[in-house]
Amino acid sequence: MTIRLKPFTTVGVLLTLMAPYVARAGDLIPPPGPITATHRTPISDASTPGDASSLFRITQPGSYYLRAGITGVAAKNGIQILSGNVTLDLMGFELNGVVGSGSLDGINTVAALTSVHIHNGVVRGWGSRGINLVLVSNSQLKELRVDENGGVGIYVGSGSAITNCTAQSNGSDGIATGVGCTITGCTAQGNAADGIDDGGESTVTGCAANTNGEEGIEVGAGTSVTSCSSYNNMGDGIRTPTGVTGAGCTINNCTSRFNRINGIRAEGGSSVIGCNATANDVDGILVANSTVRACTVSYNDGDGIQASSNCMLIDNHCVGNGNGAGDGAGIHTTSSDNHIEGNTAIDNDRGIDVDTGGNLIIRNTAAGNTGAGAFPLPDFDLTGTNSVGQILDATAGGDITSSIAWRNIVY
At 398 the pLDDT is: 87
Angstrom distance (rounded) from CA 31 to CA 246: 66
Residue 21 has pLDDT above 50, yes or no: no
Q: What pLDDT band is residue 325 in, cutting at 50, 70 and 90? A: low
% of the chain exceeding 70 in pLDDT: 89
Write down the mean pLDDT value for the chain: 91
Mean pLDDT value of segment 265-294: 98
pTM beyond 0.85: the answer is: yes
Specify the pLDDT at position 399: 87
Per-residue model confidence (pLDDT) at position 31: 52
pLDDT at 323: 75
Provide the pLDDT for residue 401.
78
- Please report which confidence band the pLDDT of residue 30 belongs to, taking 50, 70 and 90 as the band edges: low
Q: Per DSSP, what are the bridge partners of residue 163? A: 142, 184
Average pLDDT over residues 159-188: 98
| End-to-end CA, the chain | 114
Please give the average per-residue pLDDT across 244-250, as a whole number.
95
Condensed to tens digits (0 to 9), the pLDDT of residues 374-402 reads: 999 999 999 999 999 999 999 999 888 77
pLDDT in tens, 74-106: 999 999 999 999 999 999 999 999 866 678 999
pLDDT interval class at 403 (50, 70, 90): confident
Higher pLDDT, 102 or 258: 258
- pLDDT band at 16; cut points 50, 70, 90: very low
Exposure of 115 in the CB half-sphere (CA atoms within 13 A): 7
